């Protein structure tokens, strides 16, 4: 929806300026300036949704549709990502669920939106959560902010996150605790505590391997970056409920990383 709206705004601007102002060679100028005008118009349209985002449930389908549509617009027109996704059949259609993936780029959450058709939220660090507009949007999606400066705030947010998961929201977590190495596709660290939310909520775990995001910073926005996503079979809560968080972390570390190692060798 958002991508189509962006193109409609762009086309209308070019048409109106060509017909009512000047045509001929001026159309090149209208085409260039139209990109900016349509971007601003699209952003304003998205902002108009903020009241709706605020007063609806985190699991609201239209809210998630707008979020996912906005994300797709950014992925296609500005990040220039071409995403190949394998294993969509492994995504459970219902039930409590947490997604875990390697994290090498700020584009990773947008990539998750490309394959996750269930209402989904994230665990951003506090600096992202405090960003204008983005922070509000994350709040309305029921995001679980990580405040590393305060264990009390993190514990309080964890209680809210567990409730959000039990209400049916899929929680996406990048268990490395931030971007540790932008040049290595593999996970280079693992915070066992990242799995505590899922285990306390009694949620199933969905491991995901994302490959190619280390190249985005060298290519976007002018060149297309190919991203490969592999969604692995779900790890049920029954399989890990007797394990410690450290054991679960090790299990997920290898499920996600083994594929990335294989892909790197193949390249």
Q: Answer whether 81's CB lies under 8 Å from 216's CB.
A: yes
Residues of the chain with CATH 3.40.1130.10: 82-266
Pick the CATH number of 82-266 from 3.90.1720.10, 2.120.10.30, 3.40.1130.10, 3.40.50.1820: 3.40.1130.10
pTM of this structure: 0.86
Please compute the mean of the pLDDT values over residues 148-162 and round it to a whole number: 73
Residues contacting residue 237 through CB under 8 Å, at least 6 positions apart: 96, 198, 199, 202, 203, 204, 205
Arithmetic mean of pLDDT over the chain: 86
36-75, pLDDT tens digit by residue? 999 999 999 999 999 999 999 888 889 999 999 999 999 9
66-102, pLDDT tens digit by residue? 999 999 999 999 999 999 999 999 999 999 999 999 8
């Amino acid at each position: 929806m958002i991508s189509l709206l962006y193109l409609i705004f762009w086309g209308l601007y070019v048409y109106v300026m060509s017909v009512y102002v000047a045509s001929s060679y001026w159309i090149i100028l209208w085409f260039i300036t139209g990109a900016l005008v349509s971007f601003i118009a699209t952003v304003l349209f998205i902002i108009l949704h903020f009241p709706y985002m605020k007063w609806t449930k985190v699991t609201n389908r239209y809210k998630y549709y707008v979020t996912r549509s906005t994300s797709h617009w950014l992925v296609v027109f500005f990040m220039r990502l071409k995403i190949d996704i394998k294993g969509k059949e492994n995504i459970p259609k219902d039930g409590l669920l947490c997604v875990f993936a390697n994290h090498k780029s700020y584009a990773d959450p947008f990539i998750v939106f490309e394959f996750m058709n269930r209402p989904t939220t994230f665990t951003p660090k506090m600096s992202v959560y405090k960003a204008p507009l983005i922070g509000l949007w994350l709040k309305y999606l029921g995001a679980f902010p990580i405040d590393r400066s305060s264990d009390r705030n993190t514990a309080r947010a964890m209680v809210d996150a567990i409730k959000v998961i039990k209400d049916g929201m899929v929680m996406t977590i990048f268990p490395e605790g931030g971007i540790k190495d932008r040049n290595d596709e593999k996970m280079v660290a693992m915070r066992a505590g990242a799995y505590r939310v899922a285990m306390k909520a009694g949620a199933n775990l969905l491991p995901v391997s994302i490959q190619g995001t280390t190249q985005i910073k060298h290519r976007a926005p002018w060149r297309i970056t190919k991203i490969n996503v592999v969604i692995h079979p779900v790890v049920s809560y029954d399989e890990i409920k007797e394990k410690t968080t450290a054991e679960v972390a090790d299990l997920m570390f290898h499920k996600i990383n083994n594929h990335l190692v294989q892909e790197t060798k193949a390249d």
